[in-house]
Chains A and B, each alone.
Chain A
Amino acid sequence: MKNRIKVYRAMHDLTQEGLANELGVTRQTVLAIEKGKYDPSLDLAFKIARFFGVTIEDIFLYGDTAEQK
């Protein structure tokens, strides 16, 4: 599953550590999600989306959606 966390993070001028602290996870977890090595739980996905003020679909791109974009 692809995602655009890095883009949104850059838009909000946040480091991985800063975002991790805001979300209540470790920096390695943010890094693993960004690199697509770890798919977050639904709870964490909602938390990320709400933190950036967008929907989950804006951040996480699943299957065909990722290819179209």
Chain B
Amino acid sequence: MFKIVYNGCNMKRNTFYLLAGIVALAEVGIFWLSVEIERPILIQIAFVLGVLLIYGARRMVEDRVEDERTAMITQKAALRTLEVFWVVFFMLSLGSAVAAFSRPLGLRPPPPPDPNTTHTLIMRITEPDVLPFDLFGRFAVGQLVLLCLMIFLYVGFRVYYARKYGEWDTDEEQD
């Protein structure tokens, strides 16, 4: 049995929400920049730093109270979400793996250019270097959609268990 009251540092709840919104906007901007300069590592690092910042700020919100019941609600919601989504993510990964391995793996060296025709060489140089969207892109977008669904499901489970364990019950003392 425990109760954690985070009131050592001063940050109002609304300030935290404002900070979270600013971080989210910054992430969108960095995502755009990352696409423009073709550096995936930029958004990856920014995302991790953003999440760490929000986690750190959440601990500084004053009068945030946790006890054994709220901890249990969080655990149950997380477990139920995991039970559903490990299956969904595994399914997506298996499907993508099968699709990827059913084609040549790209380990074969490219055929040597024909010395008699310079046309082929010019074509290769001027050809835009694009990734095929059909597999790689669909996998990435699918994963992002599933992550969003996972967050929605987690929130849904939290609301369900919070209702079940009397989070919003009222009694005569509140009148």
B171 neighbours in A (Cβ, 8 Å): 16, 31, 34-35
**From residue A50, how far is it (CB to closest CB) to chain B in Å?**
12
**From residue A27, how far is it (CB to closest CB) to chain B in Å?**
8
Inter-chain CB contacts under 8 Å: number: 53
In whole angstroms, how far apart are the Cα atoms of A37 and B164 in the complex? Answer: 7
Contact string, B139-175, partner A, CB cutoff 8 A, digits 1/0?
Answer: 0000000000000000000000000111101010100
Contact string, B39-60, partner A, CB cutoff 8 A, digits 1/0?
Answer: 0000000000000000000000
**From residue B79, how far is it (CB to closest CB) to chain A in Å?**
17
Q: Which of A24-68 contact B (CB under 8 A)?
A: 24-26, 28-29, 31-32, 34-35, 37-38, 40-41, 43-44, 47
**From residue A22, how far is it (CB to closest CB) to chain B in Å?**
11
B1 touches which one: A17, A31, A38, A40 (CB < 8 A)? Answer: A40
- Any A CB within 8 A of the CB of B13: no
Which of the segments B28-36, B65-73, B92-100, B119-127 contacts the partner chain? B65-73
Is the CB–CB distance between B169 and A35 below 8 Å? yes
In whole angstroms, how far apart are the Cα atoms of A44 and B67 in the complex? Answer: 11
Is the CB–CB distance between A25 and B68 below 8 Å? yes
Q: Enumerate chain B interface residues (CB-CB to A < 8 A).
A: 1-3, 65, 67-70, 164-167, 169, 171, 173
Offer 30 A-B interface pairs, CB within 8 angstroms, sorted by A: A15-B173, A16-B171, A16-B173, A17-B173, A24-B1, A24-B2, A24-B67, A25-B3, A25-B67, A26-B3, A26-B65, A26-B67, A28-B167, A28-B169, A29-B67, A29-B68, A29-B69, A31-B171, A32-B69, A32-B166, A32-B167, A32-B169, A35-B166, A37-B165, A37-B166, A40-B1, A41-B1, A41-B68, A44-B1, A44-B68
The 9 closest A-B CB pairs, nearest first, are: A32-B166, A37-B166, A43-B1, A24-B3, A44-B1, A25-B67, A29-B69, A38-B165, A26-B65
